[in-house]
Structure 1
Amino acid sequence: MTYATTAPALALDDLHASLTDPVLDAMNFLNEVVARFPDALSFAPGRPAEGAFEVEDLARHLRSYTGHLERSLGWSRDRVRTHLFQYGRTNGIIHELIARTLANDEGIHVPPESVVVTTGCQEAMLLTLRALFARPEDTLLVSSPCYVGITGAARLLDIATHPVPEGAGGPDPEAFRTAARRLRAAGRRPRALYVVPDFANPSGTSMDLAARELLLRVAAEEDLLVLEDDPYGFFVRAGSARPTLKALDRERRVLHLGSFAKTALPGARVGYVVADQEVVGRDGRRSLLADELSKIKSMTTVNTSAVGQAVIGGMLVECGCRLREANAGAIAHYAGNLATLLGELERNFPEERRRRLGLSWNEPTGGYFLVVDVPFAADHAALEESARTFGVLWTPMSDFYTDGGGEHRLRLSCSALTADQIVEGVRRLARFVESRAAGPAGSR
């Protein structure tokens, strides 16, 4: 087939307006920079370490899952084959294992039917937003800075978002209350709020127990639903794990968004949403919100990959549905990496040097990320120079602010590096910071 060379181009203005929104460019730009500078040490990606992954494990996980179906559930070989090779239940096939794991690991006790297994957590966000936001005035409150996955999904669906600045202790419940009331007074309908209560991406902040309980009270008093995203809660560096919002939820206000990308296997692309809220129709018919999400999923991805679910299911069977215990090695690794990163920042930027440069950073108690405040514009041009001239990558924080901000802040992720790479990476970062702080004429 030949194509006419004079075929008219599509006008970008005729495509959906989200395609010109910078939030949709953020991830692609970062991936492109990483690809162009493969030798640079990268503090940019928030992906898990690969040290424990072995190709041979995939077959073992599949065997563990099929063995569970045959021996524990008494399934025939034919039934197992259909289960894995055909289209399956729209809401997922490992929902019972996920529900058992949530009970063991988080104290979240919900019926398996309230769990919708999704193609990554990103689909869980899309399904949830599409179902909950029905009116033009419906608005999503987001902690700012905010993970671009949720703000990008809202943009694709033409859902208005309203940023609520977070504090040193993470999302501020009273700030959410104030924002909800102001929106309501302006004729908007604050519908839900989105938070990452543990070691948030991008800021690394966490909410203490009192703040979590207050947030739930605010949600009840202001009639808000809570979208809780919890990919990093296992990875505690200091102190002990705190209960999830869903574990504290007594009014079914919390929709718990989860993923196995960080705790099991990112390549499986398996996430989930716990949607145990009751829905009442005009005719009085009652259902779970999970069932309503299933209708939307049937028109998007139809099913989450049965093979991907089976691999995750096998991993859950192997650990007795106690994924936190199975992650003991990863928890220690990330805690060690974060401690190394904080130590190297201190070593390369002692107090006198920090004061001279106007440099500071936070000290998260776990997770993958921390934020450095710098005395220059930490924009895409600076990132390009950092990669090309100094061989080190990071993420501009301005990408995570929907209303402007973060121009002098950068995010460092330590999850995918070794301790030696962190040491060398911070050394390179220190040279870059000194150069930028000195201005265009500074030493390179």
Structure 2
Amino acid sequence: MTRAAPPLPQALSLAELHGSLSDPVLDAMNFLNEVVGRFPDAISFAPGRPTEGDFEPEDLARHLLTYTTYLEKELGWSRDRVRTQLFQYGRTNGLIHELIARTVANDEGIHVPPEAIVVTTGCQEAMLLTLRALFARPEDTLLVSSPCYVGITGAARLLGIRVRPVPEGPAGPDPEAVLAAVRASREAGERPRAFYTVPDFANPSGASMGLAARERLLDVAADEDLLVLEDDPYGFFVRTGPARPTLKALDRGRRVVHLGSFAKTALPGARVGYVIADQEVIGPAGGRSLLADELSKIKSMTTVNTSAVSQAVIGGLLIESDCRLREANSRTIAHYRTNMDTLLDELERHFPARRRVELGISWNRPDGGFFLVVDVPFAADHRALELSARAFGVLWTPMSDFHLDGGGTRRLRLSCSSQSPEEITEGIARLAAFITAQLTGTAA
């Protein structure tokens, strides 16, 4: 007897799924990952991944042992209590909040009680928790620098939060532009709730705010009842000049929610971040709590808690560094400084002043961090990126993927964080050949 063919599986319509799945930014990031995978031999200036430095697999076991020894010897915990700390779910707000509080006090001059810190699964979760807690009304609007890191705009898109771009200048966000955006937002019937910024060596632009601009931004925030979401993964990695204080270190009115991560300064594979949320929250009956406590309620319904093992590894690393990560990162800071210097020197060598004027090429000179931006006189889009990878063996990132206002079409981002100086030298030679071929019409 012949069996009837089984019915075809039911397909889901993309139109019936959440609108964020059709967002061009998500498609752009998938395209970039796909191109990187298809051209493994290309020299890549695309991802902003940190260097692996001197990491060795056995370091993980040492960090873990350091943390458990600290619990037993320094805090006097029993073996059973240590076992529970590592093997069970644990405190939703996190287990190493006290070590993090000591570290940010030593490194950044940020003095907050440990209870104001929520340990998160990477900084991306810190963004999601903070946005979900703060943005309650349909008219609530998030202001962001443009160009902007796609993690925050993607999180806002997932949560259905309106985003308004604030054009970024050569020295990062202009406080007066933020003020203008706040007023324009209100005139449009919105409630500007918070402004997101990376004040030091921003991703993607590499721009940094000066001290006067930071202080002025905090004044604007206070005057306009605006919160500032400060994301600071790159502040350690200064190339020239002194380190600048974080916005949170300058914050006297609890206007700043500080988003932190150990991905760049410690161990990216641990996926441990944190949020400093020391703002007071008043309930309808007059009860008071910290914003961190409210974020914890949301976390309990998402990731429940951050991996106890990952926290223990980071905790051990912090203890080994005496909770002074800036000093512990001295070799890494030197690596990034050398790489940025090499990148700038090689661009200068291939495009000296007269030639770059003739060709219409320019770039910025960041004071540190991972990224710089090159302006070119052609469309630096996904089609050009694929050609660059296939024919010239070099990858970069189109800046248009980071703009919310249609800008960046003739700009490309270069990241110099994970390569050796020799790879940077060869990569810029390939990039120069690609740019020259584009301008002479021979790239195809």
| Equivalent residue for 2:417, pick from 406, 415, 418 | 415
Cα distance in 2 between the residues matched to 1:396 and 1:272: 29
Cα distance in 2 between the residues matched to 1:28 and 1:412: 18
Q: CA deviation at 1:33?
A: 1.1
Which string of whole-angstrom CA distances, capped at 9 and with x for unpartnered residues, describes residues 6-52 of structure 1?
12210000000010001122322221111111000000110111131
Cα distance in 2 between the residues matched to 1:160 and 1:401: 15
Cα distance in 2 between the residues matched to 1:437 and 1:295: 55
Work out whether 1:316 is the aligned partner of 2:318.
yes
Which string of whole-angstrom CA distances, capped at 9 and with x for unpartnered residues, describes residues 322-349 of structure 1?
0000000000000010000000000011
- Select between 21-30 and 175-184 the one with higher mean Cα deviation: 21-30
Cross-structure match for 1:429: 431
The one-letter code of the counterpart of 1:289 is L
The one-letter code of the counterpart of 1:202 is P
The one-letter code of the counterpart of 2:85 is H
| Equivalent residue for 1:229, pick from 210, 228, 231 | 231
| Equivalent residue for 1:52, pick from 48, 51, 54 | 54
Q: CA deviation at 1:132?
A: 0.1
**8 A contact 2:434–2:443 mirrored in 1:** no
Cross-structure match for 2:359: 357
Cross-structure match for 2:164: 162
TM-score normalised by L of structure 2? 0.98
SS at match of 1:102: helix
Q: CA deviation at 1:443?
A: 5.5
Q: CA deviation at 1:414?
A: 0.2
Cα distance in 2 between the residues matched to 1:129 and 1:347: 44
The one-letter code of the counterpart of 2:393 is G
Cα distance in 2 between the residues matched to 1:213 and 1:241: 15
- Select between 27-36 and 64-73 the one with higher mean Cα deviation: 27-36
Which string of whole-angstrom CA distances, capped at 9 and with x for unpartnered residues, describes residues 214-261 of structure 1?
000000111100000000000000001000000000000000000000
RMSD of aligned C-alpha atoms? 1.0
The one-letter code of the counterpart of 1:96 is E
Which runs of at least 4 in structure 1 moved beyond 4 Å after TM superposition? Answer: none
Cα distance in 2 between the residues matched to 1:405 and 1:130: 28
- Counting only pairs closer than 5 Å after superposition, residues 21-420 of structure 1 correspond to structure 2 as 21-420=23-422
Q: Percent identity?
A: 76
Number of aligned residue pairs: give it: 440
SS at match of 1:284: coil
The one-letter code of the counterpart of 2:336 is Y
Which string of whole-angstrom CA distances, capped at 9 and with x for unpartnered residues, describes residues 81-136 of structure 1?
11001110001000000000000000000000000000000000000000000000
SS at match of 1:164: strand
Gaps of 5+ in 1: none
Cα distance in 1 between the residues matched to 2:337 and 2:364: 15
Which string of whole-angstrom CA distances, capped at 9 and with x for unpartnered residues, describes residues 187-240 of structure 1?
110000000000000000000000000000000111100000000000000001
Which string of whole-angstrom CA distances, capped at 9 and with x for unpartnered residues, describes residues 151-200 of structure 1?
00000000000000011110110000011011111211000000000000
SS at match of 2:52: coil
Cα distance in 1 between the residues matched to 2:91 and 2:308: 9
The one-letter code of the counterpart of 1:314 is G
Q: CA deviation at 1:5?
A: 5.3
Cα distance in 2 between the residues matched to 1:281 and 1:26: 42
